[in-house]
């Protein structure tokens, strides 16, 4: 089931501003949501989106209130949550207001340092992960609005402001620097990316380790609050006690399921391939069909990787052949001595006709990895691989997976063009 572009846009945060909890709270959509608590003494802001959309959320905020920003809380240190600060700071300076307190977890500060160290790498990998977005994301952490109040370990931090209590909790989940905000008087949770109303982004193929079991525990702690409103990090506000409970509980159930079932299989002495394919087989319909767990960004399959990787080393096949493997080009050349490229291509075509697209890719890669000079064969192979990738992308729902597949197809284009030119000059 392909997810509609409109649903994707809303899920990413392109939503109209919602005012709720007697008009005290607002949720403003940017690439990441900006949560606002409006008090008589000023505003508490929960996340300020990315650099490009900072001006957008600032304009939208100023349409609903002109009060000064007194606190900014970072749900976590990702680029879509704490880099849109420039217009806020500009206004504070122009009006001569006091600078706000900025609250973040200690691991958020470490994250900013890591981003600076891996600057070029992060630009490169985010360009791949978000390749289908029209405007490239700015992911530099050289300019940050640094926290003035730092929460350490699993500390809770509470403060009173403008007649309201603010309770901030530390968690691990999508990241190890996650904070969520509970506003007891209004029964509101601002969840950051611990809640995105689709399958949690755990096991992202490009990113560092994430934490499914901790994620489930965070959902369970949120459930204890019996909240009336749940403001997610991306996508629309979730309203009503029953619905809030439902979405938290199904997310916890999914995270517990994938964690506990992988752990069970690790204890049975199974290797990754067996665990992965068994897990795909046993994915319960209740989770597969939940409207709150659509595989729009991350997906169940990625989550299996996350759990395995959490507890296991990189040697994941149990086959010593894979301990010090030869180059794939050398392996392919040996295969092509047994059966030539034309035979592999013929077999790949048959598997495509049978709808076995993944197997076709493995066959085509033998030709592509092991062939250097047969231009006509290479051209036909590349064209078929490109077609198969497009077919796979058409049925894929995860934004990240679709981008990876499409990037692969795109990378074949110049090679195809080059081969066509070579063949033309050989046979003018």
Give the footprint of Zn ion on this chain (CB under 5 A): 32, 80, 193, 233
Least Cα distance to 36 among 181, 226, 194 occurs for 181
Radius of gyration of the chain from Cα atoms? Answer: 25
Residue 423 to residue 24: CA distance in whole angstroms = 68
In the complex with Zn ion, the residue whose CB is nearer, 13 or 370, is 13
Residue 24 to residue 342: CA distance in whole angstroms = 69
Residue 50 to residue 84: CA distance in whole angstroms = 5
In the complex with Zn ion, the residue whose CB is nearer, 38 or 193, is 193
CB of 235 to Zn ion, least distance (A): 10
CB of 99 to Zn ion, least distance (A): 25
CB of 81 to Zn ion, least distance (A): 6
Residue 228 CA from chain centroid, whole number: 26
Least Cα distance to 261 among 280, 243, 246, 248 occurs for 280
Collapse the DSSP code of 145 into the 3-class scheme (helix H, G, I; strand E, B; otherwise coil) and give the result: coil
Q: Which strand (E) or helix (H) includes residue 39?
A: strand 34-39
Residue 396 to residue 229: CA distance in whole angstroms = 32
In the complex with Zn ion, the residue whose CB is nearer, 70 or 78, is 78
In the complex with Zn ion, the residue whose CB is nearer, 212 or 233, is 233
State the pairing for strand pair 25-28/18-20: antiparallel
Residue 49 to residue 85: CA distance in whole angstroms = 8
The answer for residues whose C-beta is within 8 angstroms of residue 243's C-beta and 6 or more apart is: none
CB of 6 to Zn ion, least distance (A): 20
Beta-carbon count within 10 A of 94 CB: 8
CB of 234 to Zn ion, least distance (A): 6
CB of 138 to Zn ion, least distance (A): 15
In the complex with Zn ion, the residue whose CB is nearer, 173 or 233, is 233
CB of 211 to Zn ion, least distance (A): 16
In the complex with Zn ion, the residue whose CB is nearer, 196 or 368, is 196
């Amino acid at each position: 089931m392909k997810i509609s572009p409109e649903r994707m846009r809303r899920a990413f945060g392109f939503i109209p501003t919602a005012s709720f909890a007697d008009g005290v709270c607002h949720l403003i959509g940017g690439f990441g949501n900006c949560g606002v608590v409006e008090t008589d003494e000023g505003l508490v802001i929960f996340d300020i989106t990315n650099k490009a959309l900072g001006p957008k959320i600032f304009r939208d905020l100023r349409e609903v209130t002109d009060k000064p920003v007194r606190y900014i809380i970072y749900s976590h240190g990702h680029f879509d949550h704490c880099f849109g600060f420039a217009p806020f700071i500009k206004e504070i300076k122009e009006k001569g207001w006091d600078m706000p307190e900025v609250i973040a977890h200690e691991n958020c500060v470490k994250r900013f340092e890591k981003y600076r160290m891996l600057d070029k790498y992060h630009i490169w990998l985010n360009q791949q992960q978000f390749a289908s977005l029209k405007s490239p994301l700015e992911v530099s952490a050289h300019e940050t609005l640094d926290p003035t109040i730092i929460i350490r370990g699993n500390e809770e931090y509470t403060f009173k402001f403008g007649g309201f209590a603010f309770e901030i909790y530390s968690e691990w989940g999508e990241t190890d620097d996650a904070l969520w905000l509970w506003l007891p008087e209004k029964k509101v949770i601002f969840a950051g990316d611990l809640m995105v109303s689709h399958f949690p982004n755990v096991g992202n193929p490009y990113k560092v380790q994430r934490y499914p079991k901790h994620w489930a525990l965070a959902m369970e702690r949120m459930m204890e609050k019996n909240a009336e409103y749940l403001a997610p990090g991306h996508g629309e506000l979730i309203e009503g006690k029953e619905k809030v409970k439902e979405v938290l509980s199904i997310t916890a159930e999914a995270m517990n399921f994938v964690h506990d079932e992988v752990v069970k299989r690790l204890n049975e002495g199974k290797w990754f391939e067996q665990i992965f394919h068994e897990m795909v087989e046993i994915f319960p319909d209740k989770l597969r069909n939940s409207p709150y767990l659509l595989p729009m960004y991350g997906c169940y399959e990625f989550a299996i990787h996350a759990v395995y990787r959490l507890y296991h080393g990189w040697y994941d096949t149990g086959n010593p052949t894979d301990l010090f493997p030869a180059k794939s080009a050398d392996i392919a050349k040996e295969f092509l001595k047994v059966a030539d490229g034309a035979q592999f291509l013929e077999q790949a075509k048959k598997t495509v006709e049978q709808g076995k697209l993944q197997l076709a890719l493995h066959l085509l890669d033998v030709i592509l990895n092991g062939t250097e000079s047969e231009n006509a064969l290479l051209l036909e192979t590349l064209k078929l691989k490109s077609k198969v990738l497009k077919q796979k992308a058409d049925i894929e729902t995860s934004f990240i997976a679709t981008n990876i597949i499409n990037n692969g197809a795109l990378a074949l284009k110049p090679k195809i063009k080059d081969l066509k030119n070579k063949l033309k000059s050989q046979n003018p």
